[in-house]
Amino acid sequence: MIVTNYLIIGSGVAGLTFAIKIADRFPDKKVTIITKSTVDESNTKYAQGGIAIVTDEVQDSYQKHIDDTLICGDGLCDVDVVEMVVTEGPKRLKELMDWGAKFDKNSKGNFDLGKEGGHSENRVVHHKDQTGYEIERAILEQVYQKENITVLDHHFALDLITENKCCIGAVALNQKTNQIITFQSDYTLLATGGIGHLYGHTTNPIIATADGIAMAYRANAAIKDMEFIQFHPTALYENTIGSKFLISEAVRGFGAYLRTKNGNRFMLDYDARGELASRDIVSQSIDLELKKSAEECVYLDCTHLDLQAFIKHFPMIYERCKNNGIDIAKDWIPVIPAQHYLCGGIVVNKNGKTDVENLFACGECSRTGLHGANRLASNSLLEALVYSDKIYHYLAQNSSENKIANNVKSEFKIELKPSVNSEYLTNLKSELQLLMRQSAGIVRFDADLFKAQEKLIKWQEELKIKVENNQISTELFELYNMTTVANLIVQQSIERKENRGGFVKYDYSYNN
C-alpha cells in the first residue's frame, strides 16, 4: 500500500500545476502523481493553438472575452464561472511564465496574439504551434524540483476507493510489474483528460480513453453534459483510424480558406464569419458538404498566404504536411473533422469539488460550466490553469492536519487471471469506435442512438463480467471505461430534446 496526502491521477497541465502549488505550500506533505503512460504524455502536450487570455486591454477587454465564451456556449454556460475564469487568466499566465514557459512576442516585445474561431479579438497567447508542449516542458521541470512529489508513470488507475460517498484513495495497475497497487490518500484529484479514442478519429493521444469519468461514475459522482462533444473541423486527412494530426484553428485565423474538392469556398454559404465561425458551425458545415458530395474530405487552402510567415508561425504543421507530400505553397491540405474536446464530464463546483467527499476533478474530465454547449477555442488550457489554482487554494485553507485517513483497511489482494484475448478486445474497440462515429457524431438521430444504446449495454455487461473475474489488463479496463462513458454520451444525447451549440440531433424515429 502507498500512503499519500494528495493523489493526482493524470499528468497534464491540470494535475501538474496543482501538484507544484500544493507541494510548495505543504513541503512536509506527500504528493503522488500516477499516470498510465510516460509523465509527459497528455492532451496538454498536443494543444497547438494556445491560451485565450486578455492581455491587450486597449483592443480587447474581459467583457469581450466573456461575451465570446457565452455566445459559443449557446446559453448553457454558467455566467459566474465564465467571469471567474476569464478575469483570472492574466495571473495564471504570469505564473506559467515565472515557471519558465515562453510565449511568442512581436517586434515591439508584446505578445504575438493569435485569433481563432469565435473570438472577436486577437487574444490567443501561443508558442508557435506547440503551446501545449512548451507548457508541459516548463511545468515538468518544476515538478522534478519538488522533493515531496513522487511521479509514478505506467500506473493505470482502475477504480476509486470510496466509503460512505467519501473518496479515500484508488486502486491502480503497475503496468511494469502487473501488480495491483492500493493508494490511500486524504484527497484525490482526477485530471485524466478526454475521451477521444471512443471515436477513433480524434486529435487526442491514444491514452484518452475516458478513464477518469468512468471511475467517477462508478463512484457515484454526478456526470453531466456528455452530449456536448466538440469536433475539431480540420484534422489532417490520412485515411487511417487513430490519433489525427491537428491543423490548428489558428491556420484559419491566419487567413486560410476551406474549399470543396472542386474549389468552392463553402463556409460563406453557412456563416457570415466564414472560416472564423465557431468550431461547431465549421464542423457541421463540413459534415454537410461531405454528405452532399460523398467525398472523403475537404481542403484547407493556404496557397495565397505568405510562405515564410506561415513557416515561422506553424513550423510543426508545415513539416508534417511536407512529410506527407503536401507543398502548402501550391497544394491544398486535405482535412476532416475529428473528435477533439468534451465540454461535459464530472460535475464540479467553483472549487473543483465533486459531490463525492475529498474527490476533486480538473481539466477536460470535469464539467465546470465554463463551456456550456460548446467550448470557445483555446479556453481549455485557461480553464485547467484557473481550476487547478482554485482547488489548490481551497485545500490550502481546508486541509485538516495529520489527516491521512486509516480508512483503507488493507491492501487489495487480487489474484489476476489470464488476460482476455487481445483479438477480441481489438475487434470490440473497432466496433465501438465505428458505432460512436456513426451514431453519436457531429449530427445524430434518435433511432441510431437507441440502437447504439442496446449494443453498448450488452458490451458493457460482457466486459464487466471479465473485470469481475479479475482478467485485468490495461486494454480490458480501457475498453470497459470507454463503453461505460459511451453509454453516458448516448443516454444524455437521447435525453436532450433541443439542439444547442455543438449538439445537433434530428428525430426520424417518430412522426412528430
Strand ranges (E), 67-131: 124-125
Cα 38 to Cα 17, 45, 126, 152, 272, distances in angstroms: 17, 12, 24, 9, 44
3-state secondary structure of 2: strand
* Dihedral angle, C-alpha 354, 395, 79, 355, nearest 10 °: 10
DSSP state of 347: E
Give the DSSP per-residue string, 225-271: -TT-EEEEEEEEP-S-SEE--B--HHHHHTT-EEE-TT---GGGGT-
CA–CA dist 461, 457 (Å, integer): 6
3-state secondary structure of 194: coil
Q: Which positions are annotated as active-site residues?
A: 279
Chain centroid offset of residue 97 CA? 23
Residue ranges of the alpha helices (H) in 9-51?
13-25
CA–CA dist 1, 409 (Å, integer): 10
- β-bridge mates for residue 167, sequence order: 162
Chain centroid offset of residue 424 CA? 28
Cα 415 to Cα 83, 338, 468, 472, distances in angstroms: 50, 40, 11, 10
Exposure pattern of 264-288 as b/e (b: 16+ CB <10 Å)?
eebbeebbeebbbbbbbbbbbbbbe
